[in-house]
Each structure stands twice: as C-alpha cells, then as structure tokens.
Chain A
Amino acid sequence: MRAALVTAIGWCDTLPVRFTGSEKAGLVHLTERPPVTIAEARADMVTEDKGETMNAKPKLRVVEGSEAPRSATDLSHLGPLMARAQKGDKRAYQEVLKACDAWLRIFLARRVAPDAVEDVAQEALMALHKKRHTYDPTKPFAPWFVAIARYKWLDKLRRHYRAEEVELEDQAAVGGHESAVMSKIVLERLLSHIPENQAQAIRLAKIEGHALDEIAEMTGQSLSSVKVRIHRGMKRMMKRLEEANA
C-alpha cells in the first residue's frame, strides 16, 4: 500500500495539461509554454543577450510552424494528428503516442509510486490504441486523452487497493523506503478527510506499521472492528480521490 496506495499525492493538484482550446499546430510560442495573460507574457519574454541586466529591453521569441518547441504538458496540437492516425497514418500516430507518453510521465510522477509509472503509462497508451476510434476530431484531443489516462490511473489504484486488502489479511511487510515516505505524505493528506477513528486505525497500520492485533490491543477494539475501520477508511479515501479527480 505504501508503495502506491495513494500515490495519489497529486489528488488535489491540477492536471498537468494545458487546454489551449486550439487543436492547430502552435503558431506562437514563447519559451516552452504559451502565455495566457499579459503578465505571463511579460514573464515569458526572453532577452537575446544573456548577459544583459534587468534593464535590457525584452524581446519576444516567436517561433512559427509545427517545429515550435512544445512543453510535454501541451497536448493541444495532437487533435489533427490523431484524426490522421484514425485513417491509418503511422507517422502521425507515432507522434501522438510519443507526446502522450511524455505527458503521462509527468502526470503519473506524483500520482503513483516510481516503480509503477511505467506500467500505468503503458496501460494508458494501450487504452488509447484500443479506443482510438472513439476520438471525435471535432473536439479537443486533450480532454479525451486525459480522461482515459485518469481512468487508467484510478483503475490502477483500485486494483492496488484490492490487493492491499488481501495483504492486510496476511499482515504483510512493508515496501520500499521511497514509496513509504511518499505514501506517508499522501496518507496524511487524505486522512484529514475521513473520520478520526478510521484515520487512527489506518495511521497505526499504514504509517506506523503495527500489526492488526497490536492495533486492536492499543485501541481496545476487536480485531474485526479494526479491519472494518481500515477497510471503510480506505474506501472513503478512494472515493475522495475519485471525486477530486472527476
């Protein structure tokens, strides 16, 4: 559990995608991300002479055409490519997959344990492949793909949670240190949203690593009551995660 449970550390974060509303290849790019406001545009201005001070007059670096540098979080140009892919254009499809793969790495980095990123990213790419006929080229690509990626991510969490329930029965040992640290942070965040008695049971089991019978003894509850509290708390946290990302 510590491993990925809820690697959902980013459950309250915004998705790393930029919905520009345009599916056309970017015409203007200022550094890596297109500015939204004048203030942002100013911040994104770059000076041509790197040695110049703040007094130097900034100039916009405008790059035209499809060769413009793009942020890995920018999926807005993929709509026309996906439409071509639906007709069998392999080159366009490869570009779509590479861009989506890059986006997935960022999306998943703070949501699943590092060792699970690869699996979930590949599952999401497979899902994109299986469901490519459901993309409607008249609509933006990003929301469609993000919905699929989010579904695969939550699906992974659900499966992991079920596996954890079995593991809980066996009083299994803990995973790696890195995952444990991440999960502790995540759990603390999520625990603040569930009833205290459930949070306490989960905290003792998942963060402090106590065995279930120890927790029962410490809290004065029966073993089955501790199990129920952990189970209900976990379900609530999953629900919270799903709602936060719906």
Chain B
Amino acid sequence: MPSYENPSSASLIDGLTASLAPVSRRRPTREALMLAGILALQLVGTYLFISSSTSAVFTHNPTMAFAKTGLFAALTIGFAALAFRSFEPTAPRQKKLALAIGGALAGFAVLSLDRSFGGSAQAILMPSKGITCLVSSISFSLPMFIGLTFFMRGAAPTSPKMTALFIGIASGSWGAFLYGLQCPFMNLGYVALWYGGAIALTTLAAAALLPRFARW
C-alpha cells in the first residue's frame, strides 16, 4: 500500500490521535425536539398571561388573526428548518429556498392582512403601541435565539453567515408570533413596520454576532 503520510503532518496526527476521546454524536432530531419543548413551555407560559386578550383578538377578527399568527408561525418553522439544515456541513446553499419562503409569505401577508391605508400615518402605525410591540417581540424571541445559537455551536455550519440569517429570522418570527397572539392590530403597514422591524433587528443582531460563535 502506498504511503501518503506527510512527515510535517505526522506530529499533528499523532497529537490529535493521542487526544482522541469518545464523543457522543450530534443528533439533529433530538435537538429539534428539545427546542420544540422549550418553545412549547414558553408558549404555554405566555398564553396563561394573555389568554383573555388572545380570545378577544381571535373573536373580533378571526380571519386576520389566524392569517397574522399563521404567517409568523410559518416563518418560524420554515427558517428554523433552514437553520437546522444549514448546521450540516454538507448542506447546500439555501438562499433560493429562503427567498422563495420569504417571498411567498410576504405575498400571503399582503393578500390577507388589512390593506386600508386611509387616515394619517400616525393613526395606522401608532408608534406608542408599535414600540412596545417591537421590544416585546424581540424579548420573546430570545429563547429561540439562544437555543439555536447553542445548537449551532455544536454543529458544523459551513455557511455561518447564512446560518446566522436563518437563526435571526426564525427567532424574530417566533417573538412576533408570540406577541402577535394578543395584539389586535392587523394593518399591513403596522405589521410590516413593527413586527417586520423586530424580525429585521434580530436578523441584524444574528448576522453581526453569530458567525463568530460558530467555533470552527
């Protein structure tokens, strides 16, 4: 058998071999279930506090309420799945798939939310309420943000920037979903500005912070 051993690598290989210890394999399904469990607890805990508001929202305007929460739930699931997939080193670049998911859901939002833009921008966008919405959505996104970051560190993403974007969008969407359960505002402009802003901020934070946590 031909020997391809390179003398200059021999000491490194010996060192790595000597330091070898058994490792428990990464199990993506278990990680996804753990994350789902944490998020389920957060959902139940939040719902206990907001159940009356949520009932009022879904009773008053059920179609748009379902459309809004469905939109954020779909964004969360779609981008969390992309993030998990990108944890594998062999994962392809998923830019087109991400654009397709984002585009389809943006189109769905335009079609299903309240598109009436009569009145002043102040009346539609309601900055005083909107800021609360933005900050709360970001706060609610933290468990998912931290959870996905933790799993990313244990994985081997070969496109850390793309992975960070997926994590940011998934986390921001989760926060928007939770806070949106009791939020009565269905105007497209309001949702785009304040919920979209929350998702954009978590995504920016993820893009700035997470690639350096990839631990290669």
Chain A residues at the B interface, C-beta cutoff of 8 Å: 67, 69-70, 72, 85-88, 90, 93-94, 97-99, 101-102, 105, 118, 121-122, 125-127, 129-137, 139, 143-144, 147-148, 150-152, 155, 246
A35 to B154, CA, bound (A): 38
**Chain A residues whose C-beta falls within 8 Å of the C-beta of B154 in the assembled complex:** 133-134
A148's partner among B2, B19, B87, B89 (CB-CB below 8 A) is B89
Total interface residues on B, using CB and 8 Å?
33
B88 smallest CB distance to A (angstroms): 8
For residue B123, CB closer than 8 A to chain A, the reply is: no
* A residues less than 8 Å from B216 (CB atoms): 127, 130-131, 151-152, 155
With A and B bound together, what is the CA distance between A134 and B158 in angstroms? 12
Which of B22-30, B55-63, B72-80, B179-187 forms part of the interface with chain A? Answer: B22-30
From B4-12, B101-109, B114-122, B198-206, the one touching the partner chain is B4-12
Sampled A-B contacts (19; CB under 8 Å): A88-B21, A90-B17, A98-B13, A101-B4, A102-B4, A102-B5, A118-B9, A125-B12, A126-B16, A131-B216, A132-B23, A133-B25, A133-B26, A133-B154, A134-B26, A143-B90, A144-B89, A148-B156, A151-B158
Complex: chain A residue closest to B215, CB-CB: A130
Q: CB-nearest residue of chain A relative to B25?
A: A133
Which residues does chain B contribute within 8 Å of A134, judged by CB atoms?
25-26, 87-89, 154-156
User: B16 near A102 (CB under 8 angstroms)?
Assistant: no
- Point out the residues of chain B lying under 8 angstroms from A72, CB to CB: 2, 4
Question: Which residue of chain B lies nearest to A145 when distances are taken between CB atoms in the complex?
Answer: B89
Alpha-carbon distance A118/B154, docked complex (angstroms): 27
User: Bound complex: CA of A150 vs CA of B17, how far in Å?
Assistant: 23
Partner of B17 from A67, A93, A152 at Cβ < 8 Å: A93
Known pairs A130-B216, A155-B216; list 17 more (Cβ under 8 Å): A70-B1, A85-B20, A88-B21, A88-B22, A93-B16, A94-B14, A99-B4, A125-B9, A125-B13, A126-B12, A129-B19, A130-B215, A131-B89, A132-B23, A134-B155, A136-B25, A151-B216
A86 to B23, CA, bound (A): 5
* B1 contacts across to A, CB distance below 8 A: 67, 69-70
Given known A-B contacts A136-B25, A150-B158, A246 and B93 have beta carbons under 8 A apart: yes
Judge if B92 is at the interface, Cβ distance under 8 Å: yes
Closest beta carbon of chain B to A220's beta carbon, Å: 37
Residue with the highest number of chain B CB atoms closer than 10 Å, among A133, A150, A152: A133
Q: Which residue of B lies closest to A105 (CB)?
A: B6
Q: How far is the CA of A150 from the CA of B89 in the complex (A)?
A: 10
- The answer to whether A133 and B16 touch across the interface, beta carbons within 8 angstroms, is no
* A121 (CB) vs chain B CBs: closest residue: B9
Alpha-carbon gap, A98 to B19, bound state (A): 16
CA distance A99 to B6 in the complex (A): 10
Please indicate the chain A residues that have their CB under 8 angstroms from the CB of B9 in the complex: 101, 118, 121-122, 125
- From residue B178, how far is it (CB to closest CB) to chain A in Å? 31
**Given A90-B20, A122-B9, A125-B12, A98-B89 contact (CB < 8 Å):** no
Q: Which residues of chain A are within 8 angstroms of B14 by Cβ–Cβ distance?
A: 94
A133: chain B residues at CB < 8 Å are 23-26, 154
- Shortest C-beta distance, B120 to chain A (Å), equals 42
| Bound Cα distance A70, B4 (Å) | 10
Complex: how many Å from CA A129 to CA B215? Answer: 12
Counting from the closest, the 10 A-B pairs by CB-CB distance are: A102-B4, A88-B22, A147-B89, A133-B23, A151-B158, A131-B156, A134-B156, A97-B13, A94-B17, A101-B9
| Chain B residue, CB-CB nearest to A101 | B9
Give min CB distance, B165 to chain A, whole Å.
16
Shortest C-beta distance, B82 to chain A (Å), equals 16
Contacts of B4 on A, CB cut-off 8 Å?
Answer: 72, 98-99, 101-102, 105
- Nearest-Cβ distance from residue B174 to partner chain A, whole angstroms: 25
Residue of A nearest to B87 (CB): A134
Q: Please give me the residue from chain A that is nearest to B4 by CB atom.
A: A102
Give chain B residues whose Cβ lies under 8 Å from the Cβ of A151: 89, 158, 216
**Distance in Å from the Cβ of A246 to the closest Cβ of chain B?**
5
Q: Are A101 and B20 neighbours in the complex by a CB distance under 8 Å?
A: no
Asked whether, in the complex, the Cβ of B8 is within 8 Å of the Cβ of A94, the reply is no
B84 to chain A, nearest CB (A): 13
